[in-house]
Amino acid sequence: MYKLKFKIIVAVLLITLLVLTGVGIVIGQLYEDFYKNNLDDRVEKEANLAAYMLANEDLALENIQTKTLEIAEMLDARVTIILPDGTVVGESTTDPTTMDNHLKRPEITAVEAGKSVSYIRFSETVQDELLYYAVPILNDEKEKLGYLRLGFSTKLLSEMTAMIWWIIAIGFSAAFVIIFSITYRVTNEMIRPIESVTEVANELAEGNYKARTSEGKRDEIGQLTRSMNILAYNLEKITKRHEVQKERMETLIDNMGSGLILINTKGDISLINRTCQEIFQENTDLWKHQLYHDVIKHKEVIKVVQTIFITEKKQRLQIHFPVHDEIRHFEVYAAPVVSVRDKLKGIVLVLHDITELKKLEQVRTDFVANVSHELKTPVTSIKGFTETLLDGAMHTEPLREKFLTIIAKESERLQSLIQDLLDLSRIEQAYFQLNWQKAQLHSVVEDAIELLKEKATEKQIDLQLHIDGETTIEGDTERLKQIAINIINNAIMYTPIAGAVHVSIKGRDDDVTVVVSDTGVGISKTDLPRIFERFYRVDRARSRNSGGTGLGLAIVKHLVEAHHGKIYVESTMGEGTTITLTFKRYRID
């Protein structure tokens, strides 16, 4: 509506401005021409009078300069007397002998041509703009004695012209403002009812269906306002129903656990839910209204879409593709969207992330395989040596003792493996509880070192303990001892003969840190992220020969986390490994 008001006001004001401007230009030009004509008449009369005064003078005499100055003072103008050959003999503003020949000046040329014309130009002699007018000096016999040229400054003419234009501008501006005020007021009276209806229409367009307009007179505008109010009422009821349905659908789509993509027949993505951002790890909101094969980078998904477009049949399959250096698995349900007339309207894809299920399945498979392998080795040994004994070796004293020792060792290893499996199973249970109490961490570590001292002595390993500060924490003493034994035992196991294992305990304000450093073989960067996996061994041969089950660090990690602690591992190949355990002093509820 502002456009209509603006058009009316602008049209009226533009016409007014054009008319006033035209009239102002005409009036101003008339005043300017009138004043200049008067000035030209005055100059012409004064020039003729001065020429008459010089008609009986001898222009070649020296006193002509004095006469020139008298005329200049009398007329308050610049006076120049020029001989017929162009020589200046009289000049009121400078020495005439220094002046150039003036025969080619425009005003002199005009006199020669029989014209009576004034010229306005800038004078280098007086450094001012002058109006020049020249007349011939004739004696009584009408013989040309020379020329008389008058020069008047145009400053007064410019001032008068500027003043005339200022008067016209101020007068017409005042008229323009008055006309604008009247036009604005009249236009407002005409447009106000329509503006009211327009505002209501805009409110309706923005979703405010409670907006209403005042119903005016019983004319065309009044009928328009009443119709607008009825329309608003009906729209309010319809929109409420639609918004409820839309909110339910959007909430369902955005919060469903699977990714949803709707593609139209042109291949443009019409709808994509929030879950797709987590699946593709991209800002999928930018994919809307884009071709699917331009924005989706994974060929597996593109292939599914193309298959549906070609076959127009439902498909359910599993695919996998890399997402940020990780292979993720998805179950895809794709189906064509068909109209009532069996015409293809698009396709819909539902992607359900089954990566964790695949990982769990792989973990279970690996676990069963590892357990089977770990159990098979000692069972095979026990069975083999038992059969050997039964076949007659039991009657040979040295063989019997050797084989029974091996059977006992393998039985102990089998028992240790089963015990670790049971421990790990209990720790991973949701209902696993620690026996929280005050624990002296340095005493726990000292007990563990005492148990492992003989093993360290056998390998000539320098096993040292350093304690700094208060080491009392809240925790499960037995489980803390289990952690210490596993960590220190590993350090001794992977440290060569005559190496060193140093254990330090440092108490701080909020926590206590246990650091176990060894000079062992070290762990490669490739193996380092996997050392807490079940049955994972850096050196399988060394671990089995030493009786390790491959579950120790997995148990340690779970027990440390159960104490709300943290475990860090740093290692350099050929130099050794450092494991840092940090425990909070107080239990976190």
CATH code: domain 2-160 is 3.30.450.20
- 336 membership: H or E segment, kind and range: strand 327-338
Q: Which of 274-278, 437-441, 446-450 has the lowest mean pLDDT?
A: 274-278
502: pLDDT strictly greater than 90: yes
Identify which of 493, 510, 477 has the alpha carbon closest to the alpha carbon of residue 579: 493
User: Buried b / exposed e across 383-396, counting CB within 10 Å, b at 16+?
Assistant: eebeeebeeebeee
Using a cut of 0.75, tell me whether the model's pTM lies above it. Answer: no
Please enumerate in sequence order all residues whose Cβ is within 8 A of that of 223, keeping only pairs 6 or more positions apart, or say none.
none
Measure the CA–CA gap between 197 and 224, rounded to whole angstroms.
Answer: 8
Round to whole Å and give the CA distance between 375 and 371.
6
Residue spans in the chain of domains classed CATH 3.30.565.10: 433-584
Mean residue pLDDT across the chain: 78
Highest mean pLDDT among 103-112, 547-556, 573-582: 573-582
- If you count them, how many residues does the chain have? 589
* Predicted confidence band of residue 535 (pLDDT cuts 50, 70, 90): low
pLDDT band at 545; cut points 50, 70, 90: very low
Could you read off the pLDDT of 46-74 as tens digits, one per residue? Answer: 777 777 777 766 666 667 777 777 777 77
Q: Which of 65-74, 265-274, 315-324, 449-458 has the lowest mean pLDDT?
A: 65-74
**pLDDT greater at residue 580 or residue 536:** 580
Q: Averaging pLDDT over each range in 116-125, 356-365, 466-475, which range is the top one?
A: 466-475
Which range of 214-218, 370-374, 551-555 scores highest in mean pLDDT? It is 551-555
Distance CA 402, CA 502 (A): 36
Res 515: pLDDT: 92
pLDDT, tens digit (0-9, with 9 covering 90-100), for 64-114: 777 777 777 777 778 888 788 877 778 877 877 778 787 778 877 777 777
Cα gap 548→537, rounded to integer Å: 9
CATH of domain 433-584: 3.30.565.10
Token readout for 84 is 């017929």
As annotated, the residues of the chain forming the CATH 3.30.450.20 domain(s) are 2-160, 256-353
Answer yes or no: is pLDDT of 304 > 70.
yes
The pLDDT value given to residue 557: 84
Over residues 237-241, the mean pLDDT reads 81
pLDDT by residue (tens digit) across 315-340?
888 888 888 777 888 888 888 888 88
pLDDT at 549: 58
Lowest mean per-residue pLDDT among 99-113, 324-338, 413-427, 462-476: 413-427
Neighbours of 542 (CB within 10 A): 14
Residue 566 has pLDDT above 50, yes or no: yes
CA distances from 188 to 1, 16, 181, 191, 196 (A): 11, 19, 11, 5, 12
442-470 burial: b if 16+ Cβ within 10 Å, else e:
bebbbebbeebeeebeeeebebeeeeeee
Q: Which of 263, 236, 246, 424 is nearest to 348 (CA)?
A: 263
**Per-residue confidence (pLDDT) for residue 8, from 0 to 100:** 76
pLDDT tops 60 at residue 540: no
**Is residue 541 predicted with pLDDT exceeding 50?**
no
What are the CB-based long-range contacts (under 8 Å, 24+) for 8-11?
8/183, 8/187, 8/190, 8/191, 9/180, 9/183, 9/184, 9/187
CATH topology of domain 359-427: Helix Hairpins (1.10.287)
Q: What's the per-residue H, E or C state across 160-196?
A: HHHHHHHHHHHHHHHHHHHHHHHHHHHHHHHHHHHHH
Q: What per-residue confidence (pLDDT) applies to 544? A: 46
Q: Domain 256-353 class?
A: alpha beta
**At 383, is the pLDDT very low, low, confident or very high (cuts 50, 70, 90)?**
confident
pLDDT in tens, 504-526: 999 888 899 999 999 988 888 87
The type of residue at 97 is T
